[in-house]
């Protein structure tokens, strides 16, 4: 697909009601046409099969949908690990809101393979001072590394994050809540740790208590313990 083809499809799929609703949920969204995520994924999948490099060069990253598709394509294109890393290194600095971050991260299912290599790749972003570079790494950990092999290291990494940005704290809390749901005995000591940011702890416990996968009794116990 040419850049013009992609832009034409975006224009054909604008949803004004969705635009009004979603724009209020995403601070700093920039230019927002109002195209739903499933349609953007469909466009990104088609573009990934063709000469997407031209679109990469021509994409207007100030347009929410073009940035989103730019970030999704590396998840759908047939690339080597080296090529994927190069594409992510180009894309990640452009992330400027939680929606682009989270939707694109969910596309990177290739991180389920060669996990040692991808974890090493993410660690450089975990040391970043930039809000959305950090969130990118945290959400990728959340999506692909909360498993038997990596849970201990993931918990250590999440507990070691100290950053004042709201969307970093919320991602960290979200990730810790998922860790607890999957590995409660390993995660609770992390929530108890005095060095854990209190705001992150509070939000993580809140998210755990909102989960349908946690019993009512467990929710009450956590409420008494942490609130």
Whether pLDDT at 143 is above 80? yes
pTM value > 0.75 = yes
pLDDT at 70: 97
Residues 122/137, Cβ–Cβ less than 8 Å: yes
Return the bridge partners of 31, or none.
Answer: 63
Residue 50's pLDDT is: 87
List the chain domain ranges: 1-107, 113-227
pLDDT at 215: 94
Sign of CA dihedral 205, 108, 125, 102: negative
Per-residue confidence band for 1, with pLDDT thresholds at 50, 70 and 90: confident
pLDDT at 27 over 90: no
Torsion, CA 61, CA 107, CA 91, CA 42, rounded to 10: -30
Residue 28 has pLDDT above 80, yes or no: no
Q: Rounded distance, CA 113 to CA 86, Å?
A: 17
Q: What angle do CA 200, 205, 207 make, to 5 degrees?
A: 95
Q: Which residues contact 127 (CB under 8 A, 6 or more apart)?
A: none
pLDDT digit string, tens, across residues 69-114: 999 999 999 999 999 999 999 999 999 999 999 999 999 999 999 9
- Looking at every residue in the chain, the average pLDDT score rounds to 95
Any idea which fold 113-227 has?
1.25.40
Tokens of 162: 């100290």
How far apart (Å, rounded) are the C-alpha atoms in residues 172 and 92? Answer: 18
The pLDDT value given to residue 29: 83
11 has pLDDT over 90: yes
């Amino acid at each position: 697909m040419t850049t013009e083809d992609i832009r034409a499809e975006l224009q054909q799929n604008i949803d004004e009601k969705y635009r009004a609703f979603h724009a209020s949920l995403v601070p700093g969204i920039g230019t927002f046409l109002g195209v739903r995520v499933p349609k953007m994924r469909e466009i990104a999948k088609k573009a990934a099969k063709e000469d997407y490099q031209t679109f990469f060069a021509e994409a207007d990253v100030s347009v929410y949908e073009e940035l989103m598709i730019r970030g999704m394509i590396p998840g759908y294109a047939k690339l080597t690990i080296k090529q994927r890393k190069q594409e992510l290194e180009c894309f990640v600095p452009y992330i400027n809101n939680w929606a682009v971050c989270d939707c694109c991260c969910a596309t990177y299912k290739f991180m389920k393979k060669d996990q040692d290599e991808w974890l090493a790749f993410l660690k450089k972003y975990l040391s970043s001072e930039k809000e959305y570079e950090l969130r990118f790494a945290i959400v990728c950990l959340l999506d692909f590394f909360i498993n038997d092999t990596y849970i201990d290291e993931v918990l250590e990494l999440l507990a070691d994050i100290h950053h004042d940005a709201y969307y970093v704290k919320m991602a960290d809390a979200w990730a810790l809540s998922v860790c607890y749901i999957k590995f409660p005995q390993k995660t609770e000591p992390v929530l108890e740790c005095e060095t854990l940011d209190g705001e992150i702890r509070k939000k993580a416990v809140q998210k755990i208590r909102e989960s349908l996968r946690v019993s009512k009794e467990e929710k009450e116990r956590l409420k008494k313990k942490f609130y």
